[in-house]
Structure 1
Amino acid sequence: MGGRLNPNGVQTLLTQHAGAASKRCPSLTSKRVSPHVLTHSALELLQAGVDSSVIALWLGHESIETTQTYLHAHISLKEAGLAKLKPYERGKSTRFRRSDHLLAFLESL
Protein backbone atom coordinates (compact mmCIF):
# COMPACT_ATOMS: atom_id res chain seq x y z
CA MET A 1 0.00 0.00 0.00
CA GLY A 2 1.24 3.46 -0.82
CA GLY A 3 4.02 2.25 -3.15
CA ARG A 4 4.56 2.83 -6.83
CA LEU A 5 2.05 1.50 -9.32
CA ASN A 6 3.18 -0.56 -12.27
CA PRO A 7 1.56 0.08 -15.68
CA ASN A 8 -0.97 -2.72 -15.20
CA GLY A 9 -2.01 -1.28 -11.85
CA VAL A 10 -2.50 2.15 -13.38
CA GLN A 11 -4.60 0.70 -16.22
CA THR A 12 -6.70 -1.35 -13.77
CA LEU A 13 -7.45 1.68 -11.60
CA LEU A 14 -8.18 3.81 -14.64
CA THR A 15 -10.59 1.20 -16.02
CA GLN A 16 -12.40 0.98 -12.68
CA HIS A 17 -12.74 4.74 -12.33
CA ALA A 18 -13.75 5.21 -15.97
CA GLY A 19 -16.47 2.61 -15.43
CA ALA A 20 -17.73 4.43 -12.37
CA ALA A 21 -17.57 7.80 -14.16
CA SER A 22 -19.50 6.45 -17.15
CA LYS A 23 -22.58 6.10 -14.90
CA ARG A 24 -22.65 9.90 -14.60
CA CYS A 25 -21.27 10.55 -18.09
CA PRO A 26 -22.60 7.84 -20.47
CA SER A 27 -20.50 9.11 -23.41
CA LEU A 28 -17.42 7.62 -21.69
CA THR A 29 -18.63 4.10 -22.44
CA SER A 30 -17.83 4.57 -26.13
CA LYS A 31 -14.41 6.12 -25.50
CA ARG A 32 -11.03 4.49 -24.92
CA VAL A 33 -9.63 5.84 -21.67
CA SER A 34 -5.92 5.16 -21.17
CA PRO A 35 -2.96 6.77 -19.39
CA HIS A 36 -1.87 8.11 -22.78
CA VAL A 37 -5.24 9.82 -23.25
CA LEU A 38 -4.92 11.36 -19.77
CA THR A 39 -1.52 12.78 -20.66
CA HIS A 40 -2.94 14.45 -23.76
CA SER A 41 -5.86 15.75 -21.71
CA ALA A 42 -3.39 17.30 -19.27
CA LEU A 43 -1.57 19.01 -22.14
CA GLU A 44 -4.86 20.38 -23.43
CA LEU A 45 -5.53 21.78 -19.96
CA LEU A 46 -2.17 23.53 -20.07
CA GLN A 47 -2.95 25.01 -23.46
CA ALA A 48 -6.31 26.19 -22.07
CA GLY A 49 -4.44 28.17 -19.40
CA VAL A 50 -4.66 25.82 -16.40
CA ASP A 51 -1.63 26.26 -14.13
CA SER A 52 0.94 23.47 -14.41
CA SER A 53 0.93 22.98 -10.62
CA VAL A 54 -2.75 22.03 -10.83
CA ILE A 55 -1.95 19.60 -13.65
CA ALA A 56 0.87 18.10 -11.54
CA LEU A 57 -1.58 17.46 -8.70
CA TRP A 58 -4.14 16.03 -11.12
CA LEU A 59 -1.57 13.62 -12.56
CA GLY A 60 -0.38 12.64 -9.09
CA HIS A 61 3.19 13.87 -9.52
CA GLU A 62 5.09 14.47 -6.29
CA SER A 63 7.02 17.30 -7.87
CA ILE A 64 6.00 19.95 -10.39
CA GLU A 65 9.42 19.42 -12.04
CA THR A 66 8.25 15.99 -13.20
CA THR A 67 5.26 17.56 -14.91
CA GLN A 68 7.40 20.32 -16.42
CA THR A 69 9.71 17.72 -17.97
CA TYR A 70 6.83 16.07 -19.81
CA LEU A 71 5.23 19.34 -20.85
CA HIS A 72 8.50 20.82 -22.09
CA ALA A 73 9.41 17.69 -24.07
CA HIS A 74 5.98 17.60 -25.69
CA ILE A 75 6.06 21.26 -26.68
CA SER A 76 9.67 21.02 -27.91
CA LEU A 77 8.80 18.09 -30.17
CA LYS A 78 5.90 20.01 -31.70
CA GLU A 79 8.02 23.10 -32.25
CA ALA A 80 10.80 21.06 -33.88
CA GLY A 81 8.32 19.38 -36.21
CA LEU A 82 6.67 22.66 -37.17
CA ALA A 83 10.05 24.25 -37.87
CA LYS A 84 10.69 21.66 -40.58
CA LEU A 85 7.55 22.58 -42.52
CA LYS A 86 7.41 25.08 -45.34
CA PRO A 87 4.86 27.85 -44.89
CA TYR A 88 1.57 27.15 -46.61
CA GLU A 89 0.99 29.07 -49.81
CA ARG A 90 -2.66 29.36 -50.80
CA GLY A 91 -3.42 28.12 -54.29
CA LYS A 92 -0.01 26.54 -54.82
CA SER A 93 -0.21 22.78 -54.84
CA THR A 94 3.01 20.87 -54.73
CA ARG A 95 3.42 17.33 -55.85
CA PHE A 96 6.13 14.84 -55.05
CA ARG A 97 8.68 14.56 -57.84
CA ARG A 98 11.01 11.62 -57.74
CA SER A 99 14.65 12.15 -58.52
CA ASP A 100 16.81 9.97 -60.76
CA HIS A 101 18.98 9.23 -57.71
CA LEU A 102 15.98 7.84 -55.87
CA LEU A 103 14.95 5.65 -58.81
CA ALA A 104 18.50 4.34 -59.22
CA PHE A 105 18.65 3.50 -55.54
CA LEU A 106 15.29 1.70 -55.62
CA GLU A 107 16.22 -0.27 -58.71
CA SER A 108 19.47 -1.37 -57.05
CA LEU A 109 17.58 -3.07 -54.20
Structure 2
Amino acid sequence: MHLLQSGVDISVIALWLGHESPTTTHVYLSADMVMKEEALLRLQPADVGRARYKAPDNLLAFLKSL
Protein backbone atom coordinates (compact mmCIF):
# COMPACT_ATOMS: atom_id res chain seq x y z
CA MET A 1 0.00 0.00 0.00
CA HIS A 2 2.87 2.37 0.77
CA LEU A 3 4.28 1.90 -2.72
CA LEU A 4 0.92 2.69 -4.29
CA GLN A 5 0.52 5.78 -2.09
CA SER A 6 4.01 6.90 -3.12
CA GLY A 7 2.96 6.87 -6.76
CA VAL A 8 4.52 3.60 -7.89
CA ASP A 9 2.54 2.14 -10.79
CA ILE A 10 0.57 -1.01 -9.98
CA SER A 11 2.25 -2.94 -12.80
CA VAL A 12 5.65 -2.31 -11.19
CA ILE A 13 4.31 -3.46 -7.83
CA ALA A 14 2.93 -6.60 -9.49
CA LEU A 15 6.35 -7.38 -10.97
CA TRP A 16 8.10 -6.85 -7.62
CA LEU A 17 5.64 -9.20 -5.93
CA GLY A 18 6.10 -11.79 -8.67
CA HIS A 19 2.50 -11.66 -9.88
CA GLU A 20 1.72 -12.74 -13.39
CA SER A 21 -0.54 -9.76 -14.04
CA PRO A 22 -1.53 -6.52 -12.29
CA THR A 23 -5.08 -7.85 -11.85
CA THR A 24 -3.74 -10.33 -9.30
CA THR A 25 -2.22 -7.44 -7.37
CA HIS A 26 -5.61 -5.69 -7.05
CA VAL A 27 -6.59 -8.30 -4.47
CA TYR A 28 -3.92 -6.94 -2.13
CA LEU A 29 -4.21 -3.25 -2.93
CA SER A 30 -7.18 -1.04 -2.34
CA ALA A 31 -7.47 2.70 -2.11
CA ASP A 32 -7.74 4.02 1.43
CA MET A 33 -9.80 7.07 2.38
CA VAL A 34 -6.86 9.47 1.96
CA MET A 35 -6.23 8.28 -1.60
CA LYS A 36 -9.93 8.55 -2.45
CA GLU A 37 -10.08 12.09 -1.05
CA GLU A 38 -7.01 13.14 -3.05
CA ALA A 39 -8.54 11.71 -6.23
CA LEU A 40 -11.76 13.63 -5.64
CA LEU A 41 -9.84 16.86 -5.03
CA ARG A 42 -8.19 16.48 -8.48
CA LEU A 43 -11.56 16.55 -10.21
CA GLN A 44 -12.67 19.76 -11.81
CA PRO A 45 -16.20 20.93 -11.15
CA ALA A 46 -18.48 20.62 -14.14
CA ASP A 47 -19.38 23.89 -15.86
CA VAL A 48 -22.91 22.69 -16.40
CA GLY A 49 -25.83 24.60 -15.04
CA ARG A 50 -28.37 22.80 -12.90
CA ALA A 51 -31.33 23.49 -15.15
CA ARG A 52 -34.23 21.06 -15.08
CA TYR A 53 -35.09 19.40 -18.39
CA LYS A 54 -38.27 20.68 -19.99
CA ALA A 55 -39.64 18.47 -22.72
CA PRO A 56 -40.84 20.27 -25.88
CA ASP A 57 -44.58 20.45 -26.43
CA ASN A 58 -44.51 18.16 -29.47
CA LEU A 59 -42.81 15.43 -27.41
CA LEU A 60 -45.38 15.77 -24.62
CA ALA A 61 -48.19 15.61 -27.15
CA PHE A 62 -46.69 12.46 -28.68
CA LEU A 63 -46.34 10.79 -25.29
CA LYS A 64 -49.91 11.67 -24.35
CA SER A 65 -51.14 10.09 -27.58
CA LEU A 66 -49.63 6.72 -26.70
Q: TM class by shorter-chain length?
A: 0.3 to 0.5
Return the TM-score normalized by structure 1: 0.28
Report which of the two structures shows the higher radius of gyration computed on alpha carbons.
2
Bigger fraction of residues in helix: 1
Greater relative contact order (Cα < 8 A, sep 6+): 2
Return the TM-score normalized by structure 2: 0.44
